[in-house]
Amino acid sequence: MKEFYPKMGRVILHVDMNSFFASVEIANDPSLKGKPLAIAGDAKQRKGIIVTCSYEAREYGVKTTMQLWEAKKLCPKLIVKQPNHERYRLVSQAIFDLLRKYSDLVEPVSIDEGYVDITDCQDLGKPVQIAEMIQKDLLKTLDLPCSIGIAPNKFLAKMASDMKKPLGISILRKRDVPAVLWPLPVIEMHGIGEKTAKKLELIHVKTIRDLAHANDLQLQSAIGIHGIRLKERANGIDPRKVDPDAAAVKKSIGSSITLPRDISNQSELLSVLEKLSDNVASRLKRKQYVTKNVSVMIKYKNRETITRSRMLENPIVEARDIFKAAKTLFIKNWNGHPVRLLGITGQDLLKADHSFEQLSLFSYEKVAKKEPLYEAIDQMKKKYGSSILRTGAESPHPENKKKS
């Protein structure tokens, strides 16, 4: 059996559930099996966006993020179910509990995908046999299909799991990279979105092969230090270990300031909170995290300190959203006394590329529409400074206006 496992290195699986939300609904209601199904908003509404859909729906051209009315036009018999996030969370827990039967080294990276290090699982069989056992176990136990990638590192395992869907098992070795990955458009590489692909195209990097051979200085100039990491992965290099504790570690990013004088003017304090929100948002984006929990710290003139936090329905990263949550906390908990120090912290962080946003169909639409606005604001602040745009929070409160 040892011949199927490397003497040096790892064997890693990437387990990716197929059409997870739709599959969970089908498992819950077998009458939906074989029918075109979409998870979206209220079936009576024509507005909204498809969150996910069954493979039967995809055969009609229905796609994720498609407008619901457009999907129904393509597939008049489309069945629409509203998301049931509590059900999905419970099923997700069951999936990872099942994976831990095969290895202690299981790292969830989102609600429906995770890595399993099986390097020390030789007694269970060949890597392909273990993948087959997991796939069959998930089908038998939870009635859920998945695709599995087998590789020597996390990046290649992730790329392999995308090769055959649904119910695929694919092996991707480092020596296969030039033939299998390099011919692909760079946007098909895990970790590269449309914005990054457009930036890379400006330096004539159009395929994964181009990225694998790109000039380091040009890459850093185009997309920053992240470019070097992407180049390594394009060459099949990824030293990250499967970390079972990664999801449990509660990281935090915050910003605080001791005020130059004790302040009791609400408008001034909210202005400070807004600047702190900008700082936290910038740091989150730089480190590629989103936050699900915002906390505010208030230290009064008499040195009494209180910290209050708020769990959020969806992960956030934009300064405007952080300020909104912080402002609500501050107004609710400030006692009106002079403040010496203010702080904002984003807690329960998630990696941006693995974050799961529990969006209703309509909030999903709302976020999508705001995205160009957020990008424009970020560009203006970078060019002219953070004070170029001010919100209503910085306008004097009527009771605090000086009489002219």
Residue 239 domain flag: no
- Helix or strand (DSSP H, E) at 179: helix 177-180
For the stretch 192-202, pLDDT in tens is: 988 899 999 99
Q: Looking at the structure, tell me whether residues 197 and 335 fall in a common domain.
A: no
pLDDT at 49 (0 to 100): 85
Euclidean distance between CA atoms 398 and 382, whole angstroms: 31
pLDDT at 361 (0 to 100): 38
Does residue 11 contact residue 157 with C-beta atoms inside 8 Å?
no
pLDDT at 305 (0 to 100): 86
Split into its structural domains, the chain has a count of 3
CA neighbours closer than 13 Å in the CB half-sphere of residue 110 = 18
Q: Looking at the structure, tell me whether residues 163 and 185 fall in a common domain.
A: no
pLDDT at 402 (0 to 100): 39
Residue 83 domain flag: yes
pLDDT at 5 (0 to 100): 74
Q: Looking at the structure, tell me whether residues 136 and 77 fall in a common domain.
A: yes
Residue 257 domain flag: yes
Residue 321 marked as a ligand binder: no
The amino acid sitting at 73 is: K
Q: Looking at the structure, tell me whether residues 134 and 67 fall in a common domain.
A: yes
Out of 172, 190, 219, a domain closes at: 172
pLDDT at 289 (0 to 100): 86
Out of 172, 195, 215, a domain closes at: 172
pLDDT at 65 (0 to 100): 84
**Neighbouring C-beta atoms of residue 59, cutoff 10 Å:** 10
Distance from chain centroid for Cα 136: 28
Euclidean distance between CA atoms 323 and 76, whole angstroms: 43
Active site residue 113: yes
Q: Looking at the structure, tell me whether residues 167 and 298 fall in a common domain.
A: no
Q: Is the pTM of this model over 0.85?
A: no
pLDDT at 380 (0 to 100): 59
Q: Which of 363, 370, 368 is nearest to 40 (CA)?
A: 363
Q: Looking at the structure, tell me whether residues 48 and 72 fall in a common domain.
A: yes
Out of 146, 172, 198, a domain closes at: 172
Which tokens belong to 223? 């997309």
User: Residue 351 is part of a domain; what is its CATH number?
Assistant: 3.30.1490.100
Q: Looking at the structure, tell me whether residues 205 and 263 fall in a common domain.
A: no
Considering 113, 274, 318, 365, which one is annotated as catalytic?
113
Euclidean distance between CA atoms 16 and 13, whole angstroms: 10
Q: Looking at the structure, tell me whether residues 207 and 287 fall in a common domain.
A: no
Q: Looking at the structure, tell me whether residues 338 and 229 fall in a common domain.
A: no
Q: Looking at the structure, tell me whether residues 343 and 198 fall in a common domain.
A: no
User: Residue 198 is part of a domain; what is its CATH number?
Assistant: 1.10.150.20
Where the chain has pLDDT below 50, the residues are 45-46, 356-368, 371, 386-387, 390-404
Residue 268 domain flag: yes
Residue 240 domain flag: no
Residue 241 domain flag: no
Residue 247 domain flag: no
Residue 245 marked as a ligand binder: no
Which tokens belong to 124? 């269970």
Does residue 294 contact residue 346 with C-beta atoms inside 8 Å?
yes
Q: Looking at the structure, tell me whether residues 292 and 206 fall in a common domain.
A: no
Give the domain range for residue 277: 253-397
Residue 242 domain flag: no
Q: Looking at the structure, tell me whether residues 12 and 52 fall in a common domain.
A: yes
pLDDT at 364 (0 to 100): 45
